[in-house]
Amino acid sequence: MSLATEIEKRRTFGIISHPDSGKTTLTEKLLLFGGAIQMAGAVKARKASRHATSDWMKIEQERGISVASSVMKFNYRLDNNDYEINLLDTPGHQDFSEDTYRVLTAVDSAMMVIDSGKGVEAQTEKLMGVCRMRNTPIVTFINKMDRDGLEPLDILADIEDKLQIECVPMSWPIGMGKLFKGVYNLHKQELNLFTPSQDTAHSDNVHIEDLDDPRLDELLGAQADELREHIELLSGASNPLDMAQFLNGGQTPVFFGSAINNFGVKELLDAFVELAPPPGPREAAERVVEPEETDFSAFAFKIQANMDPAHRDRIAFFRICSGKFEKGMSVRHHRIGKDVKLANATVFMAQDRAHVDEAYAGDIIGIHNHGTIRIGDTFTSREPLKFTGIPNFAPEMFRRVRLKDPMRRKQLHKGLMQLAEEGAVQVFKTVLSGDYLLGAVGVLQFDVAVARLKAEYNVDADYVGTDFKLARWISCDNAAKLKEFERLFSANLAHDSEEQLAYLAPDAWKLNYTEEQWPEISFHKTRESL
């Protein structure tokens, strides 16, 4: 098969949502449609064990779980077209972390799941912010229509208002909660009637082009007029789907359904594979790389410590950007200027890992390594390239590290640097006191860090509180101004693990105020690896 054909059939995406909106349930149904799992329950069981946190054994177990569910690959066939789908996990509960953000730098599109009872929630807003950095196309699923929730029009207004993306309803719900009758598929002009059912894909579809058709009244009773009214309202208020707008993240097609009842999921998946783009060009510092180029190129976007702490093995997740991966091939690791043999690449099937012999742009492969690979590293068959757009994200919470045995300071430093390279936590050394501060996006990473310092570096450490809540990397073209800033704000400055200077603020007000007072200084929310 040609390279172009392989690329054309691939869809690499992640789900953005707030915890409990139904991501796990939807993932499971998508995998069922792809034949990747045979029965409901497998993904949910994993999530249940994932909820358990805190002690070391549990964290270990969890690491294994999150490696296994990091990428779920499955096939899907629609109208004689075969698709290969890579669904990248975006951890969202206690395991919400910087990795969740970074996964979104490796996808070509995203599915957004909104709980119809809640509208847009905080974590979805944050993840949407990351999608916006690369104008990632978003397909929206409004879930839990079988429950009483917000009015559909209000949900759309909420999305448009909070996420600054125009909604284009592809289907329209008829009632909700106990009165939920199904949806009217606007573009197929079809009525999909709802029957609650947890395991089969079942809905009765009736083709009704003309909304004045009396069959609508027979099927929906008094709710037929309500549907007519809504659709009339909609036709005046919303624009048709514009592919260019969708592809640059300006518009999102919206579907309504109920993941747990398997309702609306097939329609969502069918539209998704047709609308969502295959792997596209990727920007490198030197030039733009096209997926059809025959030379192999990839970047590492996630590093996961392996299960066995005795080996200090790590799995680096590569997103392939061009060419063809072949088992055992040699590629150049540009940051360290060495050739490495990609012998045991792993592809992550929905349930198990399998060894891969070949892979293409859009695919994710896992490579074992002993700590030489960093997030953002580029690998190519020959040309020196550095892919961009795989940043560090400013931490949203901080802890000050307290070392119990001062004699182990060197080991502490080594352990912290390794953790920083894996991208799970960020390490800052304060300019004034030389203390180590850990910064993270999700709180679990702090527990993992102390547990790993103990197990892998024999360092006993714990945390004490700190007043800092926000960090921004700073830069300034005017050396004198920067010096003055450094002098005045020395108590708020720290260097990260790559010696980049960051300003730490106790709250958003103080950060805004400082930004306003110092217009010459640039405050960055993300930082690209060196």
Q: What are the residues binding ligand G4P (CB under 6 A)?
A: 17, 19-25, 44, 47, 143-144, 146-147, 258-261
Least separation in angstroms between CB 261 and ligand G4P? 6
Residue with tokens 């909820």: 51
State residue 488 phi and psi, 5-degree precision.
Answer: -75, -30
DSSP state of 323: S
Cβ count near 236 (within 10 Å) = 6
**Segments of 18-89 assigned E as strands:** 71-78, 81-88
**CA distances (Å), origin 494, targets 16, 426, 466, 468:** 32, 12, 13, 11
Cβ proximity to ligand G4P, 265 vs 521, nearer residue: 265
Cβ proximity to ligand G4P, 44 vs 483, nearer residue: 44
Q: How many CA atoms are closer than 13 Å to the CA of 136, on its beta-carbon side?
A: 30
Cβ proximity to ligand G4P, 51 vs 409, nearer residue: 51
For residue 455, give both structure tokens. 């197990």
Cβ proximity to ligand G4P, 192 vs 258, nearer residue: 258
- The residue count of the chain comes to 530
Cβ count near 425 (within 10 Å) = 25
Cα gap 147→155, rounded to integer Å = 14
For residue 436, give both structure tokens. 């180590």
Cβ proximity to ligand G4P, 2 vs 200, nearer residue: 200
Least separation in angstroms between CB 118 and ligand G4P? 11
Least separation in angstroms between CB 348 and ligand G4P? 18
Cβ proximity to ligand G4P, 44 vs 312, nearer residue: 44
Cβ proximity to ligand G4P, 146 vs 363, nearer residue: 146
CB 449 within 8 A of CB 58: no
Least separation in angstroms between CB 143 and ligand G4P? 5
Least separation in angstroms between CB 21 and ligand G4P? 5
Least separation in angstroms between CB 114 and ligand G4P? 10
Least separation in angstroms between CB 144 and ligand G4P? 4
Cβ proximity to ligand G4P, 93 vs 495, nearer residue: 93
Cβ proximity to ligand G4P, 196 vs 221, nearer residue: 196
For residue 319, give both structure tokens. 């997103």
**CA distances (Å), origin 457, targets 46, 220, 452:** 29, 66, 7
Which residues lie below 8 Å from residue 21, measured CB to CB, with a gap of 6+? 113, 114, 115, 118, 121, 124, 143, 144
At position 397, the amino acid (one-letter code) is M
**Torsion sign, CA atoms 368, 369, 370, 375:** negative
CB 166 within 8 A of CB 140: no
Least separation in angstroms between CB 44 and ligand G4P? 6
Least separation in angstroms between CB 386 and ligand G4P? 35
CB 388 within 8 A of CB 95: no
Cβ proximity to ligand G4P, 254 vs 502, nearer residue: 254
Cα gap 514→521, rounded to integer Å = 10
Least separation in angstroms between CB 87 and ligand G4P? 13
**CA distances (Å), origin 476, targets 271, 381, 482, 498, 501:** 46, 37, 6, 18, 11
